[in-house]
């Protein structure tokens, strides 16, 4: 007997399933061994509480995507992290705009929201886009309306601390306007280090069944032009998952990453047999090679002025955190311990 398939369920599952079969050549786990029950959660350095929480939830049997979303929700809700969610630094108009994406390996499905205002957990909204619509990305006012329709409450995401830093930034932009210079030019040192490192959180997971998932969430570039969207909500750039191969995600300068579809590239390098670390470093080298066409991004020695970080885990449970520049860290929980590790890197600053 034929099963009736609606246009909507065809779009959401039919094409997805067909595409996965084409990309994997119809062979499950081609080129990759199973992980024999290994569990790994990795994240950017600001995600130690996320990796801890996600592992705890995996142990309780939660779906891997739900586990990492619950992990990053802690950071999204924390006003102390000024690069993600509530308390994130605003755009140039003083408004916090958030980007997030999710991808679920077992169903090869994903969802994202971009430039969403007033909702502190955009990763949860991204998951609803994946689960409850035939779309992959909803932006701006449409994303806010969608979130409210699903019961999310609007709240002001601009904390006093973020507002004061934004004001100081405005005051020191120019001596050709009506703003007096700030009384002190110094930004707080913790904020300065966020500004330099760009922030954002990505969290990737491999569960004991060999299933993968990933989430990336951010308040984006500080003081960005309103409506600017970074790499975080762009599936293929800010994250990518192929349940036959591995999961990858990024933080750092989104524009450089978008223009090379970095996370997809990392997963494809892993499919070709490279370890997560080699795959990430190769993708970083590609970003740098392409940046040579954009001289403003390079210093006088031709080295990148920016940083991009990739985090990746493969089907076997091997993982890596990497950066263009030495000095970055990533958080990993392998089921035994939850700790920060130094990222592999391409260059050391003099």
Residues that bind ligand GLY (CB under 6 A): 198, 200, 218, 220-221, 230-232, 251-254
Q: How far is CA 231 from the centre of its chain?
A: 8
Which stretches within 133-203 are classed as H helix? 140-149, 160-171, 189-197
Active-site option among 159, 200, 218, 251: 200
Beta bridge partners of 308: 252
Closest to 249 in 3D by CA, of 331, 132, 139: 331
Which of 62/346 has CB closer to ligand GLY?
A: 346
Give me the phi and psi of 314, to 5 degrees please: -105, 180
What's the min distance (Å) between Cβ of 221 and ligand GLY? 5
Distance CA 126, CA 130 (A): 6
Which of 91/118 has CB closer to ligand GLY?
A: 91
Which of 208/259 has CB closer to ligand GLY?
A: 259
Which of 35/260 has CB closer to ligand GLY?
A: 260
What's the min distance (Å) between Cβ of 255 and ligand GLY? 7
What's the min distance (Å) between Cβ of 190 and ligand GLY? 18
Is 19 an annotated catalytic residue? no
Write out the two tokens for 250: 């990024």
Sheet holding 98-104, edge to edge: 137-139, 109-116, 98-104, 212-218, 201-206, 40-44, 329-333, 338-342
Which of 231/244 has CB closer to ligand GLY?
A: 231
What's the min distance (Å) between Cβ of 310 and ligand GLY? 11
CB atoms within 10 A of CB 191: 20
Residue 273 CB partners (closer than 8 Å, separation 6+): 31
Distance CA 88, CA 77 (A): 10
What's the min distance (Å) between Cβ of 230 and ligand GLY? 2
Q: How far is CA 242 from the centre of its chain?
A: 16
Residues acting as catalytic residues: 200
């Amino acid at each position: 007997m034929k099963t009736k398939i609606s246009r909507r369920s065809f779009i959401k599952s039919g094409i997805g399933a067909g595409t996965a079969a084409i990309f994997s050549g119809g062979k499950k786990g081609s080129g990759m061994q199973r992980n024999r029950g290994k569990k790994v959660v990795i994240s950017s350095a600001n995600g130690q509480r996320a990796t801890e929480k996600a592992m705890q939830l995996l142990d309780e049997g939660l779906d891997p995507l739900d586990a990492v979303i619950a992990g990053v929700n802690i950071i999204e809700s924390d006003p102390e992290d000024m690069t993600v969610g509530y308390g994130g630094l605003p755009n140039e108009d003083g408004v916090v705009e958030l980007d997030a994406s999710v991808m679920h390996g077992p169903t090869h499905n994903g969802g994202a929201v971009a430039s969403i205002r007033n909702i502190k957990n955009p990763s949860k909204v991204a998951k609803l886009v994946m689960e409850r619509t035939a779309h992959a990305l909803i932006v701006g006012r449409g994303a806010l309306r969608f979130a409210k329709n699903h019961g999310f409450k609007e709240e002001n995401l601009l904390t006093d601390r973020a507002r004061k830093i934004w004001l100081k930034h405005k005051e020191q932009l120019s001596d050709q306007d009506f703003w007096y210079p700030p009384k002190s030019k110094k930004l707080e040192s913790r904020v300065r280090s966020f500004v330099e490192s760009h922030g954002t959180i990505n969290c990737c997971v491999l569960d004991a069944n060999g299933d993968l998932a990933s989430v990336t969430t951010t308040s984006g570039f500080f003081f960005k032009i309103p409506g600017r969207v970074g790499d975080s909500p762009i599936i293929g750039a800010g994250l990518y998952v192929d349940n036959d191969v591995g999961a990858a995600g990024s933080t750092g300068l989104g524009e450089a990453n978008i223009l090379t579809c970095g996370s997809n590239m990392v997963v494809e390098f892993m499919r070709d047999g490279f370890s997560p670390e080699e795959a990430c470093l190769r993708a970083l080298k590609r970003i740098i090679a392409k940046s040579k066409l954009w001289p403003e991004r390079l210093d006088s020695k031709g080295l990148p002025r920016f940083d991009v970080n990739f985090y990746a885990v493969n089907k076997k449970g091997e993982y890596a955190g990497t950066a263009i520049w030495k000095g970055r860290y990533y958080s990993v929980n392998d089921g035994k311990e939850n700790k920060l590790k130094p990222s592999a890197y391409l260059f050391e600053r003099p």
